[in-house]
Every structure is written in C-alpha cells, then in structure tokens.
Amino acid sequence: MKKMEFVFLLIFFPVTLSVKHSLKFFLTASSGVKNFPDYLAVGLVDEVLILYWDSIRRKTEAKEDWSQKVLDNDPQLLELYTQECLLSQYKYTAKIEILKKQLNQTGDVHIFQLMFGCEWDDENGEKNGFVQYGYDGEDFIAFDLKTLTWIAPKPEAVITKHKRDRDRPNNERWKYFLTEHCPTLVKTYLDYGKSSLLRTELPSVSLLQKTPSSPVSCFATGFYPDRAEIFWRKDGEELHENVELGEILPNHDGSFQMSVDLNLSSVTPEDWRRYECVFHLSVVKDEIITKLDKAVIKSNCVPPSEFPAGPVIGGVGGLLLLLAVCITGVFIWRRRNNGFKPANCFRLIIH
C-alpha cells in the first residue's frame, strides 16, 4: 500500500511557481480497475501529502506528524474528513454509472475525479480557490468563483452545468469553503507544520551533458520550497532561444529538483564564458550563479568496454516491473494548467 500511495502522489503532483500557500484535495472514483481502490482521496498542503483515505482501509490517515496533531486537536475536523470521504465514495461511484448512460458508453474502466482547494498569499492576504471535475482523463466541468456559475468545456457537460447553475445555495457553499474555511485550514496547517513547510533549503547546482554534442543541462536539486526559477543568460541577459526548461519535480526526501537545457551547437568555444546558469529561490534574495565552464561539466558518457552490464540488466528488469505498475495505474490523471492531462509513465519511473 505504501508504494501505491507514493505512485499516486507523484502522478498527482501539481507544481506551481506561485508565492501562495495552498491546500488541495484530489478525489478519484473508478470502476473496472483491478487491484486498486474504487475510491481514493488525498490532501496536500503546499504540495506536501498530509491526508490519505481509500475505500479499502476506510480510514482518514495523516501522513505527517504535524498533520496528525491537527486532527488530534480537532476531532470534529477528523470526523468531517471521514464522513465526506464516505459520502463521496458512494456519490461519485454512482456518478460514473450516470455518466455512462448519459454518454452512451460501454466498457468497464471509467474514472471520475474531483479536484478542489484554495491558495492564500501570506503577504497581501489574497485568497483564491478552484473546483474542477474530470471524467476519463478530460475536463468535464469547473466552478467560476467570480460568477458562482459553472463552465462546461464539452457539450456533454452542458446539462450538468445548467443543473448546477440553478443550485445557488450549493454554489454559495462552495464560495464560503474556498474563500473562508479553506484559507483558515491553510493557516492552521502552516502553524503546525511551519518547521517543515516554511523551511528554506538551497540546492546543489551541477552542469550535466550526456555527450559532447548534447545540450548542457543546468541541474538544481535539494531545494525547498518549490517556488523557484532557473534559467540561462548570456552577457547578463536571460535567454529564451535554444533553451528548454524542465518541470519542478519532487525528490524522495521532500525537496525538489529542476533543470534547464542550453543548446550550444551554434556557440563557439570562445563564447562559452559569456554564458551562465542562474537559480533563484523565491524566499532568498541572492541568486546561485554557475558559469558555463567545460572543466566543471559532468558527463555520463561511458565507453562500451566500461559499461556495467550486470547492473543495467537488473535495472531494466526493475523498470519493466515499474512499467507494469504504471500501465495498471495509467487511468490516473493529474492537474496541469488548470486541466486534466495523462500521467507520464516514464517520468514516474525515472523520478
């Protein structure tokens, strides 16, 4: 079960460069998926997994010591989480059957998801929230907090939109939760978990290159929080061409990593000294600057005679096993750019 929780966290891990603190919930109901719970829910504060619930264990579990203290000191909150998960399990599994009929679908495997939460800026007090439903990996319907109406990106969801638009009391309840109750919970969790959530860790930064003709990757790992940026610049000016920025990804220890590649195919060796990689953590004033220098570039280019065949064979076997797990869980979709997008199996395996 521990492996399943970790897989779920990596797939659903939404990343953001915002300076806001957040509380987000991800609820997933499924049908026809073997060896996986029919219903699963997680809660995250600032992208840290704090709560877990599934239809097999049917128990609200805190995933951090400080999030457990929140529940210990507020039994009503624990009861609220438990009851909401129990109700949602039956409501959303039934919703799948309704949508199958509404959309004239056949087949057994279907996924229904709800993602909701809020963000709170501790500098200016700004609050915002979102509610979004997905079905079979695609956007289905979303809540517009400003107008208290629903947005239907697909014609099949228009019926649901009109029904929800007419339910004004429920829309008002969503508004209250997103703008009042949820931000209050964010502050509570931040207070209990400040030694972890509000810590600052600077990364180690390396220059990596697969082969002499490959792009040079500026790789930063071990930083916290995830509100950071990394980029290449030339003569003090940020570059936007011949660069490829990677995503911010989680490490196993709770810190983060990210990288940015620079294509040097048209750069002469004499001009290398004009380039540098810059990493900046939002909560720290100073930048970490790494000059482009061939002497410090690390390469994983190994001559065939030195290639360790034994570990590679074992590694391939492990990757095939993880790929099987990933294929089994490929129905899970994650939130990206306010929408649903297929989980990347290979990124999951690597990271």
| Average pLDDT taken over every residue of the chain | 82
Does 247 have pLDDT greater than 60?
Answer: yes
Specify the DSSP class assigned to residue 212. T
Tokens at 232, concatenated:
């290449």
Residues 23-44, mean pLDDT to the nearest whole number: 91
Residues 34-39, mean pLDDT to the nearest whole number: 87
Which residues of 68-144 form beta strands (DSSP E)? 110-120, 127-135, 138-144
SS3 177: helix
Residues 59-72, mean pLDDT to the nearest whole number: 95
The dihedral through the CA atoms of 317, 321, 327, 330 has a sign that is negative
* Across 85-89, 224-228, 317-321, 335-339, least confident range: 317-321
pLDDT at 32: 83
Name residue, tokens 């930064």. Answer: 205
> Are 55 and 89 a contacting pair, CB within 8 Å?
yes
pLDDT at 299: 84
> Are 199 and 189 a contacting pair, CB within 8 Å?
no
pLDDT at 8: 44
pLDDT at 238: 96
* Across 251-255, 263-267, 335-339, least confident range: 335-339
pLDDT at 304: 41
* Across 51-55, 228-232, 270-274, 307-311, least confident range: 307-311
49: burial class by Cβ within 10 Å (0-12, 13-18, 19+)?
buried
**How far apart are the C-alpha atoms of 209 and 198, rounded to whole Å?**
33
CA 230 from centroid of its chain's CA atoms: 19
**How far apart are the C-alpha atoms of 217 and 5, rounded to whole Å?**
31
Output phi, psi for 211, to 5 deg. -135, 165
Does 306 have pLDDT greater than 60?
Answer: no
> Are 323 and 315 a contacting pair, CB within 8 Å?
no
Domains present along the chain, CATH in parentheses: 2-196 (3.30.500.10), 204-301 (2.60.40.10)
Express each pLDDT in 255-272 by its tens digit.
999 999 999 999 998 999
SS3 track for 314-340: HHHHHHHHHHHHHHHCCCCEEEECCEE
**How far apart are the C-alpha atoms of 256 and 229, rounded to whole Å?**
12
pTM exceeds 0.75 for this model: no
* Across 100-114, 174-188, 317-331, least confident range: 317-331
Express each pLDDT in 86-145 by its tens digit.
999 889 888 888 888 888 887 788 999 999 999 998 878 899 999 999 999 899 999 999
Does 210 have pLDDT greater than 90?
Answer: yes
- b/e map 298-312, b = 16+ CB within 10 Å: eeeeeeeeeeeeeee
pLDDT at 325: 32
Higher pLDDT, 2 or 255: 255
Closest by CA position to 212, among listed 274, 269, 271 = 269
Q: How many CA atoms lie within 13 A of 265 on its CB side?
A: 9
